[in-house]
Structure 1
């Protein structure tokens, strides 16, 4: 039987590369594949299989294209796919596009093949006679959700795309199979239509968690709908003047000519519906519960573990998790520094080379909950001056360790998210808060040589948030696995606040949902923080000012979660983020005075055209009805 499924996939892949949507000629095989409930369920899981690829963050532009992580491009070994990371270096091209989800090449998977599988499932699900009505309705809803999500993924990347509503018959004419791009509003509206059809027949939660965790729920579908509508309403797709002249060969405009404020209202309504449905099911923001094996834990460290574990907690007990995928996060070894003598000696156990540029560390607020360049009580100009850890900061910075002032008096999410020189790292096998390990980033001299570049962090900062606190790197790496969230409740709260602000400007409800997230992070509310500490106290009182605050809040709260890259694209802010060199510290130096000198590690190359992916040139030759993405 397995060979039958491979035959289906092989024929699908060959056809899709050429025409996207021709039904294979194996009708008998399909009848066999849907001959009973069990076989139909296997085919449903085949539809799910493509979804699992999105769990690999190295192949997700929301992660690699955000500039939150720098990955070195001069390695002698290549254990991680580097194409997505390299796109901000200007490597994208039309001959062999990186993260090509259109064709399924160069770090991408063929999403049009996945869409065709969903269509095949929907066309044949009436065949099994032993399938109950309730199961059939749920499975149809799941297939529609996946079909919607695959279209959404393509739309975020390519904008106007061909929409594959039904698979064409094998006797379709040449002109019929030469599909065309559809206007972005038609694409988004069709995605929403599919989700609306799916939501009523999906379960609100997974009852059989042993067998079914990872399958989609109505809450997940409602949350994805909110993201779809927020994307459609955002500047990249809503009245974007850069694409005003983007038309197909028939002269049809593929992007809307003008801005439509009503799109934000639709997004706000969808966010609110998803929030209410989530809370009705008992979802709420996560708080760390101290386990029995930790005898003593300060409020400061509990706060940090609350922030970290909102991401890394087991998915069956995380009350904040709306949706995650089956694969566990596979890159903890890239995110953890060497903090013990055995880990320094054992260079093969962990790469440690997901490097956070200093610009990302400076994104996080001061302890007063405002940006570091706005806080009138914080020495922004002198932030690179030296200072030693003291008893007042002992749960954040090693006592007596010389570091820089920028590492002091920061918000809890900074200490929970970033591993920096001198920073405390609670966990890694040491659960005694008074003897916690710390990061020693100065002087990477023990890793000299080109092959060892694979195991050097080139900025001196690690994405601590992506490492479970119980994961241990000592004489080897013992990971505590977790599922990186696709959607968390805190992100949904901030998305709702964003949409509400775009509709009505600053209102009490906007502040309420931002402040829920800030309160969990140990911060004052927006209005109090800006009134008391900011050099721009009136910033939250205007729509434009509050928009800047909400955007920064989302970038902080969801940092390293494969979200910021997509947000920055839809906001049309990625070009600004990548307009400056990405820098880190002088990692080979051993003295503080020499180590804390900024070194440029990467000069991004990013223009307007990079907001959308190019279609592979050969595809335009095969299908002359297609047009290339604008500016490519």
Structure 2
């Protein structure tokens, strides 16, 4: 058997080539499908072709959950464009029905046509019985994998476009024009079909990958069950559950595409599915990750261990991360964009260490204080004076460089802040320095060599970096030596918070819901929700109401899963994206060397986001070609 990873890398070379073209390497006198399924090995190649689009999603710059969350701002006036920027530009209001960004309907502007991917899956299911040397057990597993992929491609389109056509089978080549012109299905019908496919797939998938050397990246039953929980939570969320903004949206034949009535039972289904997934994770050894320092690091202070636990829950090798439910084949490609210039040599190497993933101020302020409550709620924190200058001292030496002038807001924050955010004066453990007596710290102010020259090609435009996206062992200096990792699609902490969210929507605050939140908080070094709010919050009873606990859970998910391509999807399904993007995105006055002038907020982006932006438009030309399609609301 060819190694799965190696084959996928080959297939990625053909990512811009249709399935038909890829298979045209066969002799002219042989039927394409006959050749593709003539034996087990060729059929396996076609199975991996079905995976190809999924694996292309490993690049976060093509994932709307990453680029439209406003957790990272990417400058749009660079003279060099080494990565795809279409997704980052969407919050600037560039989306139109004539020019669709991240167009997964047609496969344009950073997207890949998921309809083509679904067609491949249907072709596989139609021809799976042809290889006579394929064992019954493998056939059963492959069918389950393809059903999962088909479900996930429908789900990805649904999150972008809402109600979509359901493609259960491929149309025959002799299909009439009327048959080709498909209409959109009601959104609840699409959700039901996705869940049906996941239910059919899960029993015939292995619970875990045992042959890790060859099969990591393939789908397991634990993945299928966890995705089902997320799908049902998405269906139950405000964007799709009785959303009044979509009440009048209909097909041309009068079929309503959205239910105008809220259905509370959808949350119960989501809660039930999440509990089944959690139990399956536990039965197969998954648990919240904790960092075990290798002997080469010596004894580390507890504060650094907490930071490395949080970082490595994302950047640990996928075969050693007990928390990882699902990651895609293909390493995270942008560590150099998330890493500050920490050495003189890296400051001139704009290709390996561009350093341009910029975190806006409101994302940095999303993280709690060390008391486990929001900055503006903490009754021990001087919120009004948060931008006042303060010098790093012994008490904070593993978070802020001793003797370095920064601001109050960078002190007494929760460990997740220091694991996620690199800031002026902040400690960077790693990049080749892994002893506590000799650590890098970030110098971001002014036109220093470490900050780079006054050129947006070489400068972070806010003064904050997404530290969690860089493995602490990766080194950027005169060259680069990244330690590859696979960005999680789902991990256990996210599933715990999803279950807590669903439980709260069903029954309000309960010990079980709060208990799952507290497990995630405890791993991050924080006290429990109830005790933290009762002791330190200006709103001590907040966790005792459904609305209050909902706000807490939403903030917990945004903190815990920050920069992991989750918040962009969450904020949409909660209908909270409009609120997040209603204010200018700000950073520091980066060209100023004096701290008093540097720490002055300045606007870097004024987002453009209205009701229409919760769903992608279908391209105008597609509506002309298929006159049974209707456009999404407000476009």
TM-score under structure 2 length normalisation: 0.95
The aligned residue for residue 588 of structure 1 is: 591
SS of 1:224 mapped into structure 2: helix
The aligned residue for residue 194 of structure 1 is: 197
Show the 5 A alignment for 1:476-487.
476-487=479-490
Structure 1 residue corresponding to 2:563, chosen from 527, 549, 560: 560
**Bigger mean CA deviation after superposition, 167-176 or 111-120:** 167-176
Question: Counterparts of 2:62 and 2:617 in 1: how far apart (Å)?
Answer: 16
Matched, 1:34 2:49: no
Question: Counterparts of 2:30 and 2:233 in 1: how far apart (Å)?
Answer: 40
Question: Counterparts of 1:211 and 1:344 in 2: how far apart (Å)?
Answer: 39
Contact 2:15 2:52 in 1 (8 A): no
Structure 1 residue corresponding to 2:310, chosen from 299, 307, 328: 307
Question: Counterparts of 1:214 and 1:73 in 2: how far apart (Å)?
Answer: 33
Unaligned regions of 5+ residues in structure 1, if any? 15-24
Structure 2 residue corresponding to 1:540, chosen from 535, 543, 546: 543
Deviations for 1:9-49, whole angstroms, at most 9, x for unmatched residues? 647599xxxxxxxxxx9992101210100000000000000
The aligned residue for residue 208 of structure 1 is: 211
The aligned residue for residue 336 of structure 1 is: 339
Change (3 A) 1:607 1:34: same
Q: Alpha-carbon deviation of 1:347?
A: 3.6
Structure 2 residue corresponding to 1:475, chosen from 470, 475, 478: 478
Deviations for 1:538-569, whole angstroms, at most 9, x for unmatched residues? 10000000000000000000000000000000
SS of 1:454 mapped into structure 2: coil
Question: Counterparts of 2:350 and 2:328 in 1: how far apart (Å)?
Answer: 30
The aligned residue for residue 175 of structure 1 is: 178
Question: Counterparts of 1:133 and 1:26 in 2: how far apart (Å)?
Answer: 30
Contact 1:13 1:113 in 2 (8 A): no
Question: Counterparts of 1:479 and 1:417 in 2: how far apart (Å)?
Answer: 18
SS of 2:579 mapped into structure 1: helix
Question: Counterparts of 2:542 and 2:351 in 1: how far apart (Å)?
Answer: 49
The aligned residue for residue 169 of structure 2 is: 166
Q: Alpha-carbon deviation of 1:314?
A: 0.2
Change (3 A) 1:545 1:184: same
Q: Alpha-carbon deviation of 1:345?
A: 3.7
The aligned residue for residue 221 of structure 2 is: 218
Show the 5 A alignment for 1:169-568.
169-444=172-447, 446=449, 452-568=455-571
Matched, 1:93 2:85: no
SS of 2:157 mapped into structure 1: helix
Question: Counterparts of 2:323 and 2:365 in 1: how far apart (Å)?
Answer: 27
After superposition, the CA RMSD in angstroms is: 1.8
Structure 2 residue corresponding to 1:141, chosen from 139, 144, 152: 144
Change (3 A) 1:140 1:330: same
Contact 2:379 2:536 in 1 (8 A): yes
Contact 2:452 2:458 in 1 (8 A): no
Question: Counterparts of 2:225 and 2:66 in 1: how far apart (Å)?
Answer: 23
Question: Counterparts of 1:435 and 1:60 in 2: how far apart (Å)?
Answer: 37
Contact 1:180 1:625 in 2 (8 A): yes
Question: Counterparts of 1:582 and 1:241 in 2: how far apart (Å)?
Answer: 29
Q: Alpha-carbon deviation of 1:170?
A: 1.0
Question: Counterparts of 2:21 and 2:32 in 1: how far apart (Å)?
Answer: 16
Change (3 A) 1:8 1:515: closer
Q: Alpha-carbon deviation of 1:213?
A: 0.3
Question: Counterparts of 2:80 and 2:159 in 1: how far apart (Å)?
Answer: 32
Change (3 A) 1:401 1:575: same
Show the 5 A alignment for 1:73-88.
73-88=76-91
Matched, 1:623 2:619: no
SS of 2:296 mapped into structure 1: coil
Change (3 A) 1:459 1:501: same
Deviations for 1:184-241, whole angstroms, at most 9, x for unmatched residues? 0000000000000000000000010000000000000100000100000000000000
SS of 2:326 mapped into structure 1: strand
Change (3 A) 1:294 1:129: same
Question: Counterparts of 1:409 and 1:246 in 2: how far apart (Å)?
Answer: 49
The aligned residue for residue 7 of structure 2 is: none
Question: Counterparts of 2:564 and 2:458 in 1: how far apart (Å)?
Answer: 22
SS of 1:284 mapped into structure 2: coil
Contact 1:586 1:595 in 2 (8 A): yes
Question: Counterparts of 1:469 and 1:114 in 2: how far apart (Å)?
Answer: 36
Question: Counterparts of 1:329 and 1:36 in 2: how far apart (Å)?
Answer: 34
Contact 1:445 1:588 in 2 (8 A): no
Contact 2:19 2:120 in 1 (8 A): no
Change (3 A) 1:626 1:508: same
TM-score under structure 1 length normalisation: 0.96
Deviations for 1:134-192, whole angstroms, at most 9, x for unmatched residues? 00000000000000000000000000001100011111111011000000000000000
Q: Alpha-carbon deviation of 1:453?
A: 1.6
Change (3 A) 1:30 1:133: same
Unaligned regions of 5+ residues in structure 2, if any? 1-9, 23-27
Contact 2:347 2:452 in 1 (8 A): no
Matched, 1:56 2:28: no
SS of 2:345 mapped into structure 1: helix
Deviations for 1:276-306, whole angstroms, at most 9, x for unmatched residues? 0001001000000010110221111001000
Question: Counterparts of 1:137 and 1:323 in 2: how far apart (Å)?
Answer: 21
SS of 1:403 mapped into structure 2: strand
Change (3 A) 1:151 1:138: same
Q: Alpha-carbon deviation of 1:125?
A: 0.2
The aligned residue for residue 3 of structure 2 is: none
Change (3 A) 1:162 1:533: same
Contact 1:296 1:432 in 2 (8 A): no
Question: Counterparts of 2:375 and 2:15 in 1: how far apart (Å)?
Answer: 58
Deviations for 1:288-347, whole angstroms, at most 9, x for unmatched residues? 001011022111100100000000000001000000011100000100001122222434
Contact 1:12 1:113 in 2 (8 A): no
Change (3 A) 1:553 1:448: closer
Q: Alpha-carbon deviation of 1:475?
A: 1.5
